[in-house]
Structure 1
């Protein structure tokens, strides 16, 4: 039985409020300035200086603008830093738009395949509804970026520059997903009328051709070959003609993504397990999404080891929590929201994930860390939100923020402990499409 609020309940709430000291002052402050600003404690900034004991040499940050491609930008940032050092160039960028084109194409293929697979499921079946909602948007995982690069290679940014639609994806997302859902309904109608799987795949290829056309309209035609030319920091000119994107990747980057693994700190899952997320794998013969679930300290230790060896670290986090965007601050101790409202608003990490209050909402890159008395105190973060926020686009993360909101780091296997390497031999346990890590 459920109970509605009555007049006596409301009278008691009002009476409880009137008994509290200082509530009117706080109410006026929040009403005029919101929640975030009044909760900030500037005294905390004394411990968030932007000097780091370990710091990589990097240049200007990138700008994903109004798109959800952080996972791809962060991956390409880790590659471009190595590229710049190797070839003595500065502020080089790979084309994010090039890989975005194939990202959306491959996601559409995955969508159609799942709709065909689930064509006879009820309209309200959970897996079917999950994939219908998943559709074809521009979010993704590190392993998706690795798979795209393995299959399609890379090109410099000038070869396939950004477009209006790649920089601001909401309009295109809306029309593409409208098309996919229309096609999904048609596939289910055809299936109910007796159309066999082979014929449905013929239908799928026709619809994929239409998706390709839409992608060309929005992002441009991907190059088949191109000339790579650049001047290094010594002003020397270089030209390499008639390269394919795959040949460019193999010759100039040659990153073996199989050397890397995702360490995850997801305490709502059993620690010491190897998990997979087949639901978000959409390139079937390349790098797959998998997580080795370990502790927070293990994430820190692995990230520090890789940074000390001169390599940036891709990471996934919940950036929307306890962030001051303009100043580029990630620090829960900077925000006193519980103190502001006089209510305990704290959740532990496992509960945050289990209730979906926590999620991997953004990917960025570690380019530095401060270590004092053998303990990490703060982290230097390369974001992809332009140089107009933070310190020329770089954010500072407190160690406490790492504890609370960090979920994934991509680490070369050579930095794993022997115990972590043993996890790679475990059978992968596939997570549901609606899992907290999805």
Structure 2
């Protein structure tokens, strides 16, 4: 039974083993088939993906190129837009600047017009005020003439009437008078040659000899050249005659500083003109300087003194003689273009005035001419000279020392009686004597 059972088991195991082998073979065959099928599909799948990947690569490249083109295009467009915007902004800025400039120019123009209007109003007002002063002065002059008032009193009344209607004139006079009155006495010293503004004029002055009135008057022009605007120069000439007697010629300067205020140094300025002419009771630096120069020169009070000057120089000389300042022995005055006819100069003092028809300066005392006397003579140009001297037609040229010297010399060639008044001061050699006259010039200077 056991054997039969074992044989039965063996008989069953053999087919079972065959089945299992067949099943394994079938399974292997299936695996092989499946592997081949998969391999076949795998080959097919690899080609398709390549195409897909290629398509994606082309698409990516296209997109990249499109992106690059878009960037470049947009950058170019952006540059153009930025340039356009900048141009627009610059145009706007320029327009703003131009508008601002136009506004400023309009404002400046408006301001200039306003200032011009104010200036014109002030000028017109000043001119009207001065015109009113002229009318008032003329009316007062006519009234004083009718009343027989003359001299300094007449000048003061005319000036007062003018100032009453012209405050500008009044203020100007008051300020200038106060300024001149407040100035200290000048420091006077010998002029050093290197300080001369015109060395040639100084050399000519030092060697000059007084032989006639024309020579003496010419010195007035030389002292102006030597001093100029920086300093007032006074020339003092000591004339020693052949008999040993001594005479002195003092030449004083004319106006050299023509500006009110802001003086440059010379005391012979418009302030001195104003005060000497209108307010002789005030002592100016100019007068004090001349007197100090005479004192330093050692002029004795018992020796004759001749004063000479033109314009302001004549006024200053006339005032010294009129007031007898310094106590000197004043015996004569030679002047030109100077308003001195109203001064109370002693009748025994010899006075020679040179006047030009077209010069208004010597008429500042409201007197056109002074009647000639034995000691007071006037010589003129043109018709009033009797044909002796040429007519000085130009008002500016008429007020010139050189022109006045020419007029004086021309007159003395015809008639030297006026020049003869001062013969005691001339250095004229007398051939009948062994001695010769001697002239020594010394210059003094002072400034403000």
Mark yes or no: TM-score above 0.5.
no
Q: TM-score range by the shorter chain?
A: under 0.3
Please state which structure has a larger fraction of its residues in helix: 2
TM-score between the two structures when normalised by the length of structure 2: 0.21
Please state which structure has a larger fraction of its residues in strand: 1
TM-score between the two structures when normalised by the length of structure 1: 0.21
